[in-house]
């Protein structure tokens, strides 16, 4: 039996409701369910409901939010809570994506609160961690990743940790066309796995993200440390995305 794989599409600030519907219609037509393989979509908040509707008959396809705010409700203009995302059809949420951390000033402490809010509402948190180029060049990759894990997850109940998925996304590889070699990614994944197992997650799912495309996905997923991929740019075109998802499992 092949290991379960998760392919996650982060649409970032692309694809409104009509475009989301059209994307998913094409994708569903091109991609037949495969055993032990899930495909998750993270559309912008305005497209959550349309996307969730479009995949409702496929249990292997699921929709998540790109970000949530930790407060349950109130005067937080522009933000959405975990409960609102859930109402719109989300079953998961990204937390700590590097664009949130580096463009919007999200802190490690914010990621802790968001993971807690997601779990409390019943959303699966997909926590993103990863080092900048300067941190990598100065030999701090593992220290940065462990700091981000400890800050976001260190205080969690051991029983809750298995519900968290982690994506290792080196900041220098996101949207740049550069990607970690499978061996480099695997070394970081091993460290993440050891940390998660040491804190109560017996068989954690750890994805790799950063310039994954239909050409490099098979090479990356040939590395058994990778339980799937989180993909931005290459997930926007439904035909190319279907090809990538199929290529990864070949
Ligand atoms: C991402 O947005 O998480 C990502 C990995 O982007 P890209 O695939 O475009 O590098």
Alpha carbons 56 and 90: distance in angstroms, whole number? 11
Ligand 1 in reach of 111 Cβ (< 6 A): no
Confidence of residue 249 (pLDDT cuts 50, 70, 90): low
How far does the centroid of ligand 1 lie from the alpha carbon of residue 195, in Å?
Answer: 24
Mutation pick for ligand 1 pocket among 8, 233, 235 (CB with most ligand atoms within 8 Å):
233
- Point out the catalytic residue in the list 97, 99, 106, 225: 97
Q: How far is the CA of 244 from the centre of ligand 1 (A)?
A: 14
State mean pLDDT over 70-95: 98
Q: Please compute the mean of the pLDDT values over residues 166-180 and round it to a whole number.
A: 92
User: Which residue lies with its CA nearest to atom 6 of ligand 1?
Assistant: 232
Place of tokens 């092949």: 2
- Of 214, 204, 211, 202, which Cα lies nearest the Cα of 242? 214
Average pLDDT over residues 159-186: 94
Q: What does the alpha-carbon distance between residue 123 and residue 115 come to, in Å, rounded to a whole number? A: 9
Closest CA to 125 of 66, 72, 49: 66
pLDDT tens digits for range 186-226: 999 999 999 999 999 999 999 999 999 999 999 999 999 99
The Cα 243–Cα 250 span in angstroms is 10
DSSP 8-state class, residue 94: E
Residue nearest to atom 2 of ligand 1 (CA): 232
Q: At what angle do helices 17-30 and 238-248 cross, to 10 degrees?
A: 40
pTM above 0.85, yes or no: yes
Helices (H) and strands (E) in the chain, counts: 10, 8
Asked if the model's pLDDT at residue 171 lies above 60, the reply is yes
DSSP state of 3: P
Establish whether residue 210 lines the binding site of ligand 1, counting it when its CB lies within 6 angstroms of any ligand atom. yes
């Amino acid at each position: 039996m092949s290991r379960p794989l998760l392919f996650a599409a982060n649409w970032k600030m692309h694809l409104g409701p009509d475009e989301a519907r059209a994307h998913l219609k094409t994708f569903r037509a091109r991609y037949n369910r495969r055993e032990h393989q899930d495909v998750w979509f993270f559309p912008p908040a305005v497209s959550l409901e349309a996307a969730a509707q479009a995949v409702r008959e496929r249990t292997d396809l699921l929709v998540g939010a790109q970000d949530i705010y930790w407060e349950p409700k109130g005067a937080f203009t522009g933000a959405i809570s975990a409960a609102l995302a859930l109402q719109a059809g989300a079953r998961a949420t990204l937390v700590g994506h590097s664009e949130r951390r580096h463009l919007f000033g999200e802190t490690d402490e914010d990621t802790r609160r968001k993971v807690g809010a997601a779990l409390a509402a019943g959303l699966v948190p997909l926590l993103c961690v990863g080092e900048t180029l300067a941190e990598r060049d100065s030999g701090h990759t593992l220290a940065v990743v462990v700091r981000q894990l400890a800050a976001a997850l260190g205080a969690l109940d051991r029983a809750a940790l298995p519900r968290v998925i982690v994506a290792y996304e080196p900041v220098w590889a996101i949207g740049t066309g550069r990607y970690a070699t499978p061996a480099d990614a695997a070394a970081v994944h091993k460290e993440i796995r050891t940390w998660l197992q040491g804190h109560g997650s017996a068989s954690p799912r750890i994805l790799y993200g950063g310039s994954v495309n239909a050409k490099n996905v098979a090479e990356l997923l040939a590395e058994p440390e990778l339980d799937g991929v989180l993909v931005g740019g290459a997930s926007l075109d439904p035909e190319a995305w279907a090809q990538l998802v199929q290529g990864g499992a070949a």
